[in-house]
Amino acid sequence: MFAIRDTPFSHPGSWFGISPVIAQGHVADDLHLVSHQSGMHAVLRFVPAAPRTAVTATPARLEWVHGSGRIELTYETPDTVRLRGAGLGLTVCAAASRLTPFSGTYLYRDPVDGAHVFTNYETGRRYRLTVLSGAEPGVRGAEALGPAERGVVLGAGHWEIALEEYAGERPPYRPALGFDAAVKAAHERFTAFADAVAPWRDASTPAAELAAYVLWSATVAPAGFVTRPAVLMSKHWMDKVWSWDHCFNALALAAGDPALARDQIRLVFDHQDDSGALPDSITHSEVLYNFVKPPIHGWALARLGGPRDPRTYEQLARWTEFWLTARRAPGEELPHYQHGNDSGWDNATLFDAGRVVQAPDLAAFLILQLRELGWHERADRLRAALLERLWDGGRFVARAPGSGGAWSTPSLLFCMPIVLGDELPPEVRDALAGQIRAHLTEHGLATERPDSAHYEADGYWRGPIWAPSTVLIEDGLRRAGHTGLADEISARFRALCERSGFAENFDAHTGAGLRDRAYTWTASAYLILAAAHAQRRRP
C-alpha cells in the first residue's frame, strides 16, 4: 500500500490520476480526477457519502472505507476507470462550480445511451459516467450554465459505474471484463513491470516496489507534443519531461524495459532544434526552448550501451556542437551557461556572482560526451582548459566568459567534475573527494555545504539533497577510485528514500521530503543505486 497524499493512483498510458493534490502545494479534502492534458487540472471530485472515510491504495486498487461500507476504483484501460460501491454512496461532481464560455465543466445526459457526460474546457476532454448496475443515480446541475453544482449521486446500495476520459465522440461504453478481473489484470501488469525493472528486490530494498510504481504510474501514452510513451517527472504538478531528468528514468528502466528506456532518450531528441539544442521541457501542449539543461546525455548513453544507431550518434553530435559553438564565446575554449536554469541547479550559489558563467560541471559533462562520440582530441583540449582555467590548485572555480575574475562558493556544483573519474589527476580526485565529504550529512549530499551562510533547509539547490547530483557523484567517485565514499553516499540515499519516499528533494538535516512527493527521477535514482548495490553483493 502507499499514501495517496504522496503518490497519485494512476496507470501507464493514462493522462489522469486520482489524487487529493490538485495544484502545487494544494491538498484537497477529497480525492479528485486530475488530468495532465493541457496542464494540471482537477476535473472531477469524488465525495463519499460519509465523513472521515479511510482511503487505501495499492497499485491495482483504490478504496474508500467507512464502517461496513466500501467504494473501490481500478483502471480497466488507461483512459477508463471502474468504480463499485457497497453500502456507501458517492457523488461524482465537477471540481469547480462555475462554468463560463471558456472555463469549467458542463454536465449533460446523452440521450443516445443514457450516460452522464462532463465536458471540460481546460483539458478539452469529455468524462463519461456510465451506470453498469444499481439504482438510477441522482443528478445535479445537468445542462446548467454559470455557477451551479454539477454532479451524479450514487446511493448507498450496490452500484457500479465506468468513467472514461476521451476527446470528441466514441461508441457507448461496453465493459470488456468484470471489476475483479480488471483488478487482477492491473495487478498482473504492475507485477510484471516490477519484476522486470527490479528483479533483485528483497527485504533489504523495502522501497523498490514503490519506486517501480512511481515510474509505472507516471507513464503516459503519446499525445500532443509527447511523441513517445513518456515517464513524466510526476503526476502531481511537475508533470513535464525535462531535458536531463529523463536520462535517470532511462537508466532505471534500461535492464527491465529497454524499449521504454530508449523512448525516454529519444523523446527529447525528437524536439532538437536547428541549432542542435534540446528543449528545456516538454508537456502535452507545449515545448519550451528558452533554457536548456546540462549535457549529461553522453554520460547516460554510455550506460545504455552507447549511441548504437547513426541517428542517435548524429543527434548527440549536434547537441555537443551546440555547446561548443552557440555557447562558446570567441577566443574561449570553455563553454558557458546563460542562467542557473541551464545547469539544472536553478538557484545554486555558484550563480550568485554571475549568471552567464563558465562552470566546471559543464566542461566535465562535455568531455564525457566528446569521449562517447570518439572525439578524443577535442575532449583532451577541453580537459586541459578545464584544469588550466577552472582549477586553482585546491578547488574548482567559475568564471564569466572573457573575465579574469574567478569565484567559488560552498555549492556542491563545484564538485561535479568528479564525474570525470580517473580522467582527473589523482590530486584533483582526492581533493574533490574531501570536498564532497564535507557536504555529506546523515541523509546524503547537501547541495550547499551545511556550514554555509547561504544554506537553506528548503532552499531548492541551496541545501536540500537531490537525486541527480547523488547518482552522478556516486558514479564519478567509483570511477575515481573512492569506492568507500561512494558506498556511503549510496547507502545513505537509499535509506533516505526508504524512510521518506520519493520526494523532489529532501531536507539535508532532517531527511524530510520536500516539494513534489512522487518524483520519478528520485524513484529512478533509488532503483539505479539499489540495483548496483545488489550486483556488488553477489558472489
Q: Is 393 helix (H, G, I), strand (E, B) or coil?
A: coil
Collect all residues with Cβ–Cβ distance below 8 Å to 494 and sequence separation of at least 6. 205, 207, 526, 529, 530, 533
Smallest CA-to-CA distance from 519 within 327, 242, 316, 323 is with 242
Cell reading at 210: 514503490
pLDDT tens figures, 15-42:
999 999 999 989 999 999 999 999 999 9
Question: Are the CB atoms for 23 and 49 separated by under 8 Å?
Answer: no
pLDDT tens figures, 389-429:
999 999 999 999 987 789 999 999 999 999 999 999 999 99
Confidence at 326, pLDDT banded by 50, 70, 90? very high
State which amino acid sits at residue 52: R
Burial class (CB in 10 A: 0-12, 13-18, 19+), 13: middle
pLDDT tens figures, 160-198:
999 999 999 999 999 999 999 999 999 999 999 999 999
Answer yes or no: is pLDDT of 537 > 90.
no
Q: Report in angstroms the alpha-carbon separations of 186 from 70, 216, 219, 371, 494.
A: 20, 11, 14, 43, 28
The Cα 483–Cα 536 span in angstroms is 12
pLDDT tens figures, 495-513:
999 999 999 999 999 999 9
Answer yes or no: is pLDDT of 363 > 90.
yes
pLDDT tens figures, 433-483:
999 999 999 999 999 999 999 999 999 999 999 999 999 999 999 999 999
Mean pLDDT of the chain: 97
Longest dimension (CA), the chain: 79
Start-to-end CA span in the chain (Å)? 33
- Element of type H or E holding 140: strand 138-140
Kindly give the residue spans of alpha helices, DSSP state H, lying in 391-466.
Answer: 426-437
Answer yes or no: is pLDDT of 539 > 80.
no
